């Protein structure tokens, strides 16, 4: 399921052996406040972006939370292409997404066939 936002600004990535869909957040000066959803296989999540007063200025905050989980689901947030947060079912809480940050929420789905058997 792709929203207008994900169809316009998403990146489809293969990281390791996982399939992933990235719902990318833009920097504060270009972000679209609102709620966006995405899914990969049985895994789905919602990303919320809102303008908030942070340290005396208006900046974006983002929250990413799973809405459907199954074995093999992983939910992550990258900040400036570095791992920032991960979960298999709990939400991220609100995270500052102002100047200097570029948050990118990602949904992974690992299937049994993605893993090599142990020898």
CA–CA dist 3, 44 (Å, integer): 12
Query: Which pLDDT score is estimated for 115?
Result: 54
Per-domain residue ranges for the chain? 4-108
For 75-97, write each residue's pLDDT tens digit: 999 999 999 999 999 999 999 98
Confidence of residue 113 (pLDDT cuts 50, 70, 90): low
For 16-55, write each residue's pLDDT tens digit: 334 444 454 444 444 578 899 999 999 999 999 998 887 7
Nearest Cα neighbor of 5 from 20, 28, 29, 26 is 26
**pTM score, two decimals?**
0.68
The helix (run of H) or strand (run of E) holding residue 48 is strand 43-54
Confidence of residue 98 (pLDDT cuts 50, 70, 90): confident
CA–CA dist 63, 49 (Å, integer): 7
């Amino acid at each position: 399921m792709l929203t207008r936002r994900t169809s316009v600004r998403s990146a489809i990535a293969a990281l390791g052996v996982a399939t992933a869909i990235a719902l990318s957040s833009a920097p504060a000066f270009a972000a679209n406040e609102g709620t966006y959803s995405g899914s990969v296989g049985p895994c789905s999540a919602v990303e919320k972006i809102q303008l908030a007063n942070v340290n005396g200025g208006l900046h974006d905050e983002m929250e990413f939370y799973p809405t459907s989980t199954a074995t093999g689901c992983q939910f992550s947030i990258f900040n400036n292409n570095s791992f920032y947060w991960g979960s298999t079912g709990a939400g991220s809480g609100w995270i500052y997404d102002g100047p200097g940050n570029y948050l990118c929420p990602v949904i992974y789905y690992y299937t049994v066939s993605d893993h090599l058997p142990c020898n």
